[in-house]
Amino acid sequence: MRRFSKFAVVVMLVLSLSGGAGVAFADDVTPISFANDIVPVLSKLGCNSGGCHGKAIGQNGFKLSLYGFDSDSDYAALVNEGLGRRVSPAAPDDSLFLLKATGAMPHGGGVRLIADSDTYRLLRRWIEQGLPLGREGEPLDVKLEVIPNEHIVQEKVLKPLRVVVHYSDGSTRDVTQVARYDTQHADILTVNTDGVVQTTGRAGETSVMVRYQNCVATARFVSLTAPVKSESDYATFKPKNFVDELVLAKWRKLHISPSTESDDIEFLRRVFIDAMGTLPTPQEVRAFVAETAPDKRDTLIDRVLQREEYFDLWAHRLGDLVRNRAGDANSKDNTIAFAKWIRQSLVENKPYDQFVREIITVSGKRADHPQMDWYRWAITHENRVEDTAQAFLGLRVSCANCHNHPFEKVSQTDYWRFAAFFARLKSVTYGNVDELSLDDKGEVKHPRTEQVLTPKPFGGPEIAYVEGEDPRKKLADWLTAADNPYFARAICNRVWGHYFGVGLVDPVDDMRATNPPSNPELLDALARDFVAHKFDLKHLMQTVLKSRVYALSSSPTDDNRHDTRNYARYYSRRMQPYVLLDAIGSATGVQQKFEDYPDVKKAILLPNETARSDFLEIFGRSIRATPCECETSLAPNLSQVLYLLNSDELQRKLADKAGITTELAKPEKLAADVVEELFLRTFSRLPNSNELQDGIKLLDSGLDRRAVVEDLLWTLLNSKEFLFNH
């Protein structure tokens, strides 16, 4: 079936009656398909990108669907709108479509096409053929293949890619010249419009994203500069579990050798901050260093994962994930109950699949089910789709609300079919979700076609509604299934990202096909092990924390200094806002007070985002507006520096008579003991000889002893060694 504008039909009729050279459907010319031939060209030239005619309101009266996800509407816009002036079968070279693209007429997008190029001739031939839409039952693109899909290169090289699309009828086609190419890391490689990759000579690993119509694929590039390592470079690294084995295999592949193992003090402080969000006490430091048992690190990890602080920290982290957000002071009690439910789930070591299922499928009264508060923010179909996908599947799908996902095979129809799982929930009032129940008449319609949709998970089977049955239970079944390609991998990636600072997929909640993991074998192995152990979060954390990889020193070597994704060293990073505020309280002996929550003695125990705190605002706390990991900012800024240097709040803690400075300023305290205590409380280590002598000299200088102690502690709190976990 072919569609034509009225203008095109008239022109073709006139040509046939006058004996003109009508070539639209000559037997020796294969009709061009608009969807399979023309739309990819529009994408290649950027015509349907978000910055041009593909944006929501179009450009200068001409609107295309973003990246061609709706070829029918694009055909109508190009052929039928604009009084038929955009394309002219009677005089193809006079078509505005070609004149503007080649710069023969003024065009806001500039010159996009060279006259008489292969692309120009293709577009002209389509117009000349009479603007065919394509044949009925035309095959659809189902898969994109990049050949080869992995490259290991040495130094600076040029590498051409070949791209093949696979269609639903089993046919294939080389689309190298019309595919679109983007690079993840331009400092490692660049890629031109013809798919030719040029590496910069910098060592690293990255991907080229390739897009053609509704398909995406990636080609991984490993750029090597160092020579092959010998076994002696890995002699000190003795794998303890599969994590170590798979990371070691990646180092060998990339010619990277690891840093040495961290010492006991470095490891102790790291585990306390990462797993519990707190600093070890001076007594705990001395005891751990004195311990001689060969398995003392594993024993430490087991003890840490039983402590109250572990439950506190991870209740807070999961509270961020499920958006336990008050929004205003009137909802404070609801968030407190939800926070307690999350924490109790951790105390019970509730399987993660059960934890998520109890949130997604909750119904009844909120007084009986505090997790119902999740629906207070997941109030619309859009909220429910996007929060479920991002929090529990690691997928960012918000763009598919309006158009097909440009970087993932998630269509607008997929998005709204996912929303249909929630269609039978009765409508609720924003901010007052006291009870959830079902409505058998609920439905979701496609926003463009108005078609009533049945539920279907991403990549899963379509599910029929059953009267009296809650569709959310079918969603939970699919979510938590052992073979779900997203669920287990998503939480494993989040936990790994928390403990290493960089996810195997990074950002941790952007697990699309075009953002592949740095070590896919490791992520898959973690997910399999997690499922095999019945979604046990504590087991997952033990697996990660007890690995040799986690125990590596943060001190880089010349060999791994530029490594940022292969874990050849521990990546130092600033403590999270709540953790840092509590660490300052621990170091000074004066915990933070919160006017809104007078009973809360630690920032990590705050149930929601409403507590007033200049410190938390300045240091980038999450306000839980979305489940995105990016809500918490660890980026440094000038305000943070000035706050630590000059804030009245910090000065009050240093001067507080109930704080540690009062005790350490007593004249009977030996200067050496004072210096050691300050270093243990902040850096979790003893001072080296120079640091010790400098501190003693200041304390014995005759200056006001209290002022010297406060100044020493202030100096340590402002240092990178204190502010960062390493």
3 pLDDT higher than 80 = no
The CA distance from 34 to 300, in Å, is: 64
The CA distance from 387 to 380, in Å, is: 10
Tokens, residue 590: 């004066």
Q: Is 359 left (phi over 0), alpha (psi -120 to 50) or beta?
A: alpha
27 pLDDT higher than 80 = no
DSSP 126-180: HHHTT-----TTPPPEEEEEEESSEEEEESS-EEE-EEEEEETTS-EEE-TTTSE
Alpha helix ranges (H) inside 305-365: 308-321, 332-347, 352-360
Strand bridging mode 215-224 / 150-154:
parallel
B/e letters for 276-307, b = 16+ CB within 10 Å, e = fewer, are bbbbbebebbeebeeeeeeebbeebbeebbee
Please write the tens of the pLDDT for every residue from 486-534.
999 999 999 999 999 999 999 999 998 778 899 999 999 999 999 999 9
What does the pLDDT average to over 172-198? 88
Q: State the virtual CA torsion across 606, 608, 610, 611 in degrees, nearest 10.
A: 0
pLDDT value of residue 405: 64
Residue showing tokens 């009479």: 130
Domain spans in the chain, listed from the N-terminal domain onward: 6-128, 141-224, 350-479, 577-725
Of 18 and 43, the structure prediction assigns the larger pLDDT to 43
DSSP state of 105: S
pLDDT value of residue 329: 66
CB–CB of 665/597 below 8 Å? no
Of 702 and 6, the structure prediction assigns the larger pLDDT to 702
pTM of the model: 0.85
261 pLDDT higher than 70 = yes
Rg (CA), the chain: 31
The CA distance from 660 to 600, in Å, is: 21
By C-alpha distance, which of 495, 424, 487 is closest to 458?
Answer: 487
What does the pLDDT average to over 697-711? 94
Whether omega before 507 lies within 30 degrees of 0, making that bond cis, reads: yes
Tokens, residue 453: 């949709």
DSSP 236-275: T----SHHHHHHHHHHHHHT--PPPBP-HHHHHHHHIIII
CATH 3.30.930.10 for domain 141-224: no
List of residues 6+ apart from 672 with CB closer than 8 A: 692, 696
Please write the tens of the pLDDT for every residue from 47-77.
877 788 877 778 888 888 877 777 888 888 8
CB–CB of 434/384 below 8 Å? no
pLDDT value of residue 152: 84
The pLDDT > 90 percentage for the chain reads 53
Residue 326 dihedral angles phi and psi, to the nearest 5°? -80, -50
301 pLDDT higher than 80 = yes
189 pLDDT higher than 70 = yes
Provide the residue type at 655 as one letter.
Answer: A
The CA distance from 204 to 16, in Å, is: 62
Please write the tens of the pLDDT for every residue from 111-142.
888 888 888 888 889 988 888 887 777 888 88
* Residue 445: CB atoms within 10 Å: 14
pLDDT value of residue 721: 97
pLDDT value of residue 409: 72
User: Number of H helices and number of E strands within the chain?
Assistant: 28, 16
225 pLDDT higher than 50 = yes
The CA distance from 166 to 140, in Å, is: 8
465 pLDDT higher than 50 = yes
Alpha helix ranges (H) inside 559-670: 577-588, 614-618, 638-646, 648-655, 660-664
Please write the tens of the pLDDT for every residue from 568-583.
999 999 999 999 999 9
Residue showing tokens 């290493």: 500
CB–CB of 206/200 below 8 Å? no
Mean residue pLDDT across the chain: 88
What does the pLDDT average to over 354-378? 92
End-to-end CA distance of the chain: 65
Lowest mean pLDDT among 76-80, 151-155, 309-313: 151-155
21 pLDDT higher than 60 = no
DSSP 202-217: --EEEEEEEEETTEEE
Measured over the CA atoms of residue 604, residue 606, residue 607 and residue 612, the dihedral's sign is: negative
pLDDT value of residue 112: 87
* Full strand arrangement of the beta sheet holding 204-212: 150-154, 215-224, 204-212, 180-183
The pLDDT > 70 percentage for the chain reads 94
Tokens, residue 514: 């075009």
